[in-house]
Amino acid sequence: MTITLERDTSTGVAVVTLDRPERLNALTLAMADGLGAVWRRLRYDDDIRAVVLTGAGGRAFCTGIDRDDAARVPQPSSPYTLDDPLLAIGPKANDLWKPVIAAVEGMACGGAFYLLGEAEFLIAGETAAFFDPHTTYGMVSAFETIHMAQRMPFGEVARMALMGSAERISARRAYEIGLVSEVTEPGGALAAARDAAAVVAACPTEAVQGTVRALWTAREAARSQALAQAPHLVTLGNLPADRQAELFTGRRTGYRTR
């Protein structure tokens, strides 16, 4: 099982865990489908009123899509369409309006931003690090950048995307720029997220979900328009798969953390 769901009906909080620590919780196609199923299930679970999303193992929240699985996704020849297996992995994409709090330990990069971009807020352990390696490997950061542009100042998300794998944002810097709402001691993000979720879950659920909808209404028009352009930008700007593979085999190991 690469996704686990833990329900605590005494608090009204569920914990969804990406459980593939040996691969840094990289997402497979099966996990992408499983996440959608979990969010849809939680829509109908009246005993659960708030959700925590986290990754197992402590080394990473999620490192995006597993490239072995990504290579199995055939793509149409038209630059105006794109089959992206991560498009529907987030709670909002599955019409779940119960609040979701992300607990981040270790690395969160690339496709992880599809999930973080649809959480209400983030709590991170002190050793968490955020980065977007797409440009380093000849890929357009479109969906990821759009999600993060809703959470970070423009200059910060631009720098993260354009610096690729050469630079990482520390948990402290993420807190300073508003990406993260709280920084805990290493390993403490999940407990802090559970506590926050329990407080939210104790409030009347109609008021909570109405507030979530109001918050997302404020940003949804710009986000939807931007996401509509993303498939064209990816198909036009990505290097061919064989050239991407060459860049991955020669990947750099050094990076700067700020």
* pLDDT recorded at residue 166: 95
- pTM flag (> 0.75): yes
What pLDDT was estimated at residue 162?
97
Q: Is 223 inside a domain boundary?
A: no
Question: How many structural domains is the chain composed of?
Answer: 1
Does residue 158 lie in a domain region? yes
Instruction: Calculate mean pLDDT across residues 98-122.
Output: 97
- pLDDT, greater one: 250 or 12: 12
What residue numbers bound the domain in which 26 lies?
A: 3-188+200-205
3-class SS at 8?
A: strand
**What is residue 83's predicted lDDT score, i.e. its pLDDT?**
75
The reply to whether 233 falls in a domain is no
Q: Is 219 within a domain?
A: no
Answer yes or no: are the C-beta atoms of 121 and 101 closer than 8 Å: yes
pLDDT the model gives residue 177: 98
% of the chain at pLDDT higher than 70: 98
What is the CA angle 225-211-208, rounded to 5?
135
Q: What is the pLDDT of residue 114?
A: 96
Q: Is residue 163 part of a domain?
A: yes
Q: Are 208 and 99 in contact (CB under 8 A)?
A: yes
> Is 86 within the bounds of a domain?
yes
pLDDT higher than threshold 70 for residue 70: no
Q: Indicate which CATH number applies to the domain containing 157.
A: 3.90.226.10
Residue 62 resides in a domain: yes
Mean pLDDT, the chain, rounded, equals 92
pLDDT for residue 71:
61
Does residue 249 form part of some domain?
no
Q: Is the pLDDT of residue 194 over 90?
A: yes
160 pLDDT above the threshold of 70: yes
